A and B are shown apart, each in its own frame.
Chain A
Amino acid sequence: MAKDKDLLLDIRDLRIEGFADDRWFEIVHGIDLQLHRGEVMGLIGESGAGKSTIGLAAMGFTRDGCRFAGGEVEFDGMDLTSASEAEKRALRGSRIAYVAQSAAASFNPAHKLIDQHAEAPVLHGLMSRRESEADAIELYRRLRLPNPDEIGFRYPHQVSGGQLQRAMTAMAMSCRPDLIIFDEPTTALDVTTQIEVLAAIRDIVDQFNTAALYITHDLAVVAQMADRIKVLLRGDEVEEAPTREMLSDPKQDYTKSLWAVRSFKREQKPRPPEGTTPLLSVRNVSAAYGDTRVLDGVSFDIHRGRTVAVVGESGSGKSTTARCITGLLPPLEGEILWDGTPLPPRYQDRSKEQLRQVQMIYQMADTALNPKKTIGQIIGRPLRFYQGLRGAALKKQVDGLLDQIEMSPSKFYHRLPSELSGGQKQRVGIARALAAGPELIICDEVTSALDQLVAEGILRLLDTLQKELDLAFMFITHDLATVRAIADEVVVMKEGEVVESGPKDQMFRPPHHPYTDLLLSSVPEMDPDWLSNLLEERGRDNIGEAAGSAGA
Chain B
Amino acid sequence: MSWFTLAFFAVLILGGVIAGMLQRRGPLLLMFVLLCVSGLAAMMMGPGVLKSISIGAGILAAAAGISYMVRESLALLLPEGGARLIKTAPLTAVFGMLVIAVYILTAVFAPAIAPYGEAEVVGASFQPADETMLLGGDQLGRDLFSRLIFGARNTVGIALVTTAIAFVIGTLTGLIAASMGGWVDQILGRIVDTLLAIPQLIFALLLLTITGPSVRNLTLVIALLYAPLIFRLARAVAGGIVVMDYIEAARLRGERTWYVIMKEVLPNVTAPLAAEFGLRFCFVFLAISALSFLGLGIQPPTADWGSMVRENATLISFGAITPLIPAAAIALLTVAVNFVVDWMLHISSGLKE
Q: Give the complex CA separation of A321 and B85 in angstroms.
A: 47
Taking the closest CB of chain B, its distance from the CB of A121, in whole angstroms, is 36
Cβ contact within 8 Å between A436 and B253 = yes
Q: Are B254 and A385 in contact (CB under 8 A)?
A: yes
Residues from chain B with Cβ under 8 Å of A347 in the complex: 251-252, 254
Most buried by B among A370, A386, A436: A370
B4 within 8 Å of A (CB atoms): no
Report A397 CB to chain B, min CB distance, Å.
Answer: 16
Task: State whether A367 touches B252 (Cβ < 8 A).
Answer: no
Closest Cβ neighbor of B267 among chain A residues: A372
Residues in A neighbouring B88, C-beta threshold 8 A: 22
Chain B interface, >50% SS class? helix
Q: Is A364 an interface residue (CB 8 A)?
A: yes
Q: Decide: A381 near B245, CB < 8 A? Known: A370-B264, A372-B267.
A: no
CA distance A280 to B181 in the complex (A): 30
Tell me which of B245, B253, B264 contacts A362 (CB under 8 A): B245
Answer whether residue B258 sits at the interface, using C-beta atoms and an 8 A cutoff. Answer: no
Q: How far is the CA of A382 from the CA of B250 in the complex (A)?
A: 9
Given A362-B245, A367-B245, A372:B268 Cβ within 8 A: yes
The proximity string for A residues 352-382 relative to B, scoring 1 for CB distances below 8 Å and 0 otherwise, is: 1001001110101001111111000000011
B246, B251, B253, B255: the one contacting A369 at CB < 8 Å is B246
The reply to whether the CB of B244 lies closer than 8 angstroms to some CB of chain A is: yes
Does A83 reach chain B (CB closer than 8 Å)?
Answer: no
Given the contacts A328-B248, A364-B245, A371 and B268 also touching, CB distance less than 8 Å: yes
Q: Considering only CB atoms and an 8 Å cut-off, how many residues of chain B contact the other chain?
A: 16
Contacts A367-B246, A368-B244, A386-B253 aside, 15 further interface pairs with beta carbons under 8 A come to A326-B252, A328-B248, A328-B252, A350-B254, A355-B252, A355-B253, A360-B248, A360-B249, A367-B245, A370-B268, A371-B268, A372-B267, A385-B254, A432-B249, A436-B253
Give the distance in Å from the alpha carbon of A292 to the alpha carbon of B246 in the complex: 27
Tell me the bound Cα distance from A407 to B264 in angstroms: 24
Complex: A22 Cα to B347 Cα, angstroms: 12
B249 engages A352 (CB within 8 Å): no
What B residues does A373 contact at CB under 8 A?
A: 267
Q: Determine the chain B residues whose CB is within 8 A of the CB of A364 once the complex forms.
A: 245
CA distance A372 to B251 in the complex (A): 17
Contact, CB under 8 Å: B253 / A368: no
Contacts of A327 in B (CB 8 A): 252
From B248, B250, B253, B268, name the one whose CB has the most chain A CB atoms within 10 angstroms: B253
Set B252, B255, B267: member contacting A360, Cβ < 8 A? B252
Inter-chain CA distance A341–B248, complex, in Å, is 25
Contacts of A358 in B (CB 8 A): 252
Q: Complex: how many Å from CA A372 to CA B250?
A: 14
On whether the beta carbons of B253 and A382 are closer than 8 Å, the reply is yes
With the chains together, A22 CA to B86 CA distance in Å? 12
B250: which A residues are within 8 A, CB to CB? 381
User: Smallest distance from the beta carbon of A324 to chain B beta carbons, Å?
Assistant: 13
**From residue 259 to 304 of chain B, which have CB atoms closer than 8 A to chain A?**
264, 267-268
**Nearest-CB residue, chain B, relative to A436:** B253
> Once the chains bind, are B254 and A355 in contact (CB under 8 Å)?
yes
Can you list 11 A-B pairs with a CB-CB distance of less than 8 A? A22-B87, A22-B88, A328-B252, A355-B252, A358-B252, A359-B252, A368-B244, A370-B267, A370-B268, A373-B267, A382-B253
Nearest CB of B to A100, in Å: 19
User: In the bound complex, do residue B254 and residue A368 qualify as a contact, i.e. CB atoms below 8 Å apart?
Assistant: no
Q: Which residue of A has the minimal Cβ distance to B268? A: A372
Contact B246 A368 (CB under 8 A): yes
**Interface residues as binary, B219-258 with A (CB distance below 8 Å gives 1, 0 otherwise):** 0000000000000000000000000111011111111000
Going nearest first, the 8 A-B pairs with the smallest beta carbon separation are: A372-B267, A368-B245, A362-B245, A370-B246, A367-B244, A355-B254, A367-B245, A352-B254
On chain B, the residues within 8 Å of A372 by CB distance are: 267-268
